[in-house]
Structures are given as C-alpha cells and as structure tokens.
Amino acid sequence: MFLQSLSLQYFKNYEKAEVSFCDHFNCLVGLNGSGKTNILDSIYYLSTTKSAFHALDSQSIQHDGQYFVINGQISLSKKEHKIHCSLKRNSRKTFKVDDSEYDKLSEHVGKFPIVLIAPNDDELIRESNEVRRRFFDSIISQYDSEYLKLLIRYNHYLKQRNALLKKMAESGRVDKVMLETYKTPMVNDSAEIAMKRRSFIQEFLPHFQNNYDRIADKKERVEIVYNTKALSADFGKQFADNIQRDIQSQRTGLGIHRDEYIFEIDGFPIKKYGSQGQQKSLLISLKLAQFGFVKSHLKITPILMLDDIFDKLDDGRIDRLMSIIGSKEFGQVFLTDAREERTRSLLSEKFEPMKIFRVEENMITELD
C-alpha cells in the first residue's frame, strides 16, 4: 500500500497544496514550525478519519478558513482508491472512500493502516494508564472488529453508569436496582476485553522486545506488564461490593477502564529509571512492533511515518534505526527532519526510490 498523491485546502497552515509521493522513502525537510508535521497529520486523517494531535477536528481548519479538505489517492493490492475528508465549521465531518460514505466512521478502521512515530509519543511513558490503554486499544481494534464493538459497548455502559451515579449524588436518592442492571453486561464485557488484551500482549511482546534489541544492541531487557482485575474469579462479587464506594466517588471504580500497562527496563519502571535515550528507543520499538503486528494480521504493509525522531538518540541508535526502516519489511515511509544535511547524510541506495521535499512558507517543493 502506498499514498500516490495528496491535496489540501485550508488545512492547518496550508491554504492549498498538492504533492505526489514515491512508493518507498519520502523525506520532508524544513525548519521547525514550517508545516512538516501537518503533512503527516493530513495523511493520518486519511487512514484513521481523525487527527493524531487534536481532539477537535475544527482545530485543523486554517485560522481564516471556513473548512478544510484532504484528498488522497492510495494504491492498495493493485487497485487505486480515492479518500476524501472534509469539514465545514459547525458542521458534520464528511469522509468518503471512492465517493461512498460510511454509516459509521469506525468501519474505516484498519482498511488503510498507518503507523506514526512522533515526539508526543513520550506521553505513553509520562501520562496515565488511560493513554497506554488507548494506544493498545487502537492496535487491537485495527484487526479485531469484535474487540472494537465490545469496547464501544462497554464505554457506552460506563458513561451511562457514571452519569447515573452523579445524578444520584445530586438528588440524594440511591437507586441500587438501577445500578444492578449494569453489573452483568459490564462484568461480562470486562472479562472478554481483558482476555483479548492479555492474548494480544502475549503475542505483541516478542515483536516489541526484538525491535528494542535491534535498536539498543541488546544492552538491556524491556517488558510490558499487563495488570487487570477483570480476570479474577470473583470479579463479579468485587464489582457488586464496590457499589458504595462508587456512589461516594460518583464514578465506576472497577472494570477494564482501570487496567494497567507498565513498561519496564531490566525489571524497573522505565518512567523512573530509564534514560532519555532508552525511553525514546522503547517508544520507537513500540511503534515498530505495532507496524509488524498490524502487517501480519491484516496482510497489508502499513505506511510508516517518522516525525522528528532523531532527537535524544545517539549516533549508534540512529544508524541501527535507519538500517531497520531501510529493510524490505517496510513499504512507503515518510520522514521529517529540521536538518536537511543530516537527512541526506543518512540516506543511501537502499532507500531508493526516494524523494526529498523542502517545506517552507506554507509550500512543499520537491528537491533534486
């Protein structure tokens, strides 16, 4: 799979832009703030129907614009597909593939897979388990539609139950019969989701560890520890016994929305004991494992996008990373860098075919 062409209108800093890419290595060079990452985000939209960086789609509309449009032409299995995404202010987002709209945007997930490695990935280490759950959920959902349905249904129950708890706190009237109606579906869904998460981690972990070994030259050992209460034999009883605490806190305290993913290096939490280089290597390894995992399950080679990834990596790790992404296991790659001379020095014949684009003054220019 590869993106042949991209056109933008009023998307972030681009009033209008059109560009054609090659099917292997595409480098975007230019000063920080020139709009390199915005190009990657527009491609991310075509794959996922949403931004990688903003929760609100309206934030992707250029400041003086009233709408944005993203059009892409993607080649997949010797067929060409047109993908269209647009949004008018105060209107519903439009998303089409080959001129047909989906009934639900979730139906698009996994059809044109993409993996993005970006500076804000460090939130996977810094932030709460919610961020890590969301990351791993996004991977599983790309190849397991049943998991996505379970997750959407569970989150719907969770939202309703939390709203009921808040309403009861405000009124001072407790309706335990109504709360009881949520127990069975939430306990059952929690168990199914947790089993799928545990199976996923068992399969994903070797991919992750292998990539870390390749980047870090086997200097240390990394692990992903998955903790859940949902697979306990008495989880149903725990859920029921927690009602009083739920009423006091006005939120559901037990369930798969409280699961933990812990990253360790040589047996210790990497958040506390890992160096910046080790943490960056772990994050890149996670994303490369995501790439390999999705590729093996969907039988599609995802597009790989690397946004400003060289920061905090020593020369040895950079060389090993470039050797990995230059191998035959990868298809189309997008790389951004503020230093054009560094990008050119890292490239060799193994990255052919290759294109280099300079991004400046809200324009994209292909270089010789």
Mean pLDDT, range 321-329, rounded to an integer: 86
Q: Residue 312 above 90 pLDDT? A: no
The Cα–Cα gap between 78 and 43 comes to 20
Q: Which of 136, 296, 146 is nearest to 200 (CA)?
A: 136
317 SS3 class: helix
Mean pLDDT, range 148-162, rounded to an integer: 96
pLDDT at 176 (0 to 100): 85
Task: Report pLDDT digits (tens) over 208-249.
Answer: 999 999 998 888 999 999 999 999 999 999 999 999 999 999
Q: Which of 366, 336, 359 is nearest to 116 (CA)?
A: 336
Q: Tokens 């059109």 label which residue?
A: 18
Q: Residue 19 above 80 pLDDT? A: yes
The values of phi and psi at residue 197, to 5°, are: -65, -45
Please determine, looking at this structure, whether the domain spanning 1-113+304-368 carries the CATH number 3.40.50.2000: no
Pair 2, 75: CB distance under 8 Å = yes
| 30-39, 123-132, 304-313: least confidently modelled range | 304-313
Q: Tokens 């040589």 label which residue?
A: 266
Q: Residue 140 above 90 pLDDT? A: yes
pLDDT at 328 (0 to 100): 82
pLDDT band at 361 (very low <50, low <70, confident <90, very high): confident
Task: Identify which has the larger pLDDT, 361 or 94.
Answer: 94
Q: Residue 67 above 90 pLDDT? A: yes
Q: Residue 349 above 80 pLDDT? A: no
| 135-144, 206-215, 281-290, 320-329: least confidently modelled range | 320-329
Q: How many residues does the chain have?
A: 368
pLDDT at 40 (0 to 100): 97
The Cα–Cα gap between 115 and 42 comes to 13
Mean pLDDT, range 268-290, rounded to an integer: 93
Pair 260, 129: CB distance under 8 Å = yes
- Please name the residue ranges forming H helices in 144-175: 145-171
The sign of the dihedral angle between the CA atoms of 25, 26, 29, 35 is: negative
Can you give the C-alpha Rg of the chain in angstroms? 22
The Cα–Cα gap between 20 and 6 comes to 6
pLDDT at 168 (0 to 100): 92
DSSP 8-state secondary structure symbol assigned to residue 61? B
The Cα–Cα gap between 112 and 1 comes to 8
Pair 55, 84: CB distance under 8 Å = no
The Cα–Cα gap between 87 and 94 comes to 6
Which one is the CATH code of 126-299: 1.20.1050.90, 3.40.718.10, 1.20.1070.10, 3.30.460.10? 1.20.1050.90
DSSP 8-state secondary structure symbol assigned to residue 19? E
pLDDT band at 258 (very low <50, low <70, confident <90, very high): very high
Domain boundaries along the sequence of the chain: 1-113+304-368, 126-299
pLDDT at 1 (0 to 100): 92
User: What mean pLDDT is reported for the chain?
Assistant: 93
Mean pLDDT, range 179-183, rounded to an integer: 93
What are the distances in angstroms from CA 19 to CA 16, 42, 223, 292, 343? 10, 12, 41, 28, 20
pLDDT band at 309 (very low <50, low <70, confident <90, very high): confident
pLDDT band at 82 (very low <50, low <70, confident <90, very high): very high
pLDDT band at 108 (very low <50, low <70, confident <90, very high): very high
What are the distances in angstroms from CA 307 to CA 7, 53, 226? 20, 12, 28
Question: Does the bond joining 185 to the residue before it have cis omega, within 30 degrees of 0?
Answer: no
| 54-58, 232-236, 313-317: least confidently modelled range | 313-317
Q: Residue 14 above 90 pLDDT? A: yes
Q: Residue 302 above 80 pLDDT? A: yes
Neighbours of 245 (CB within 10 A): 12
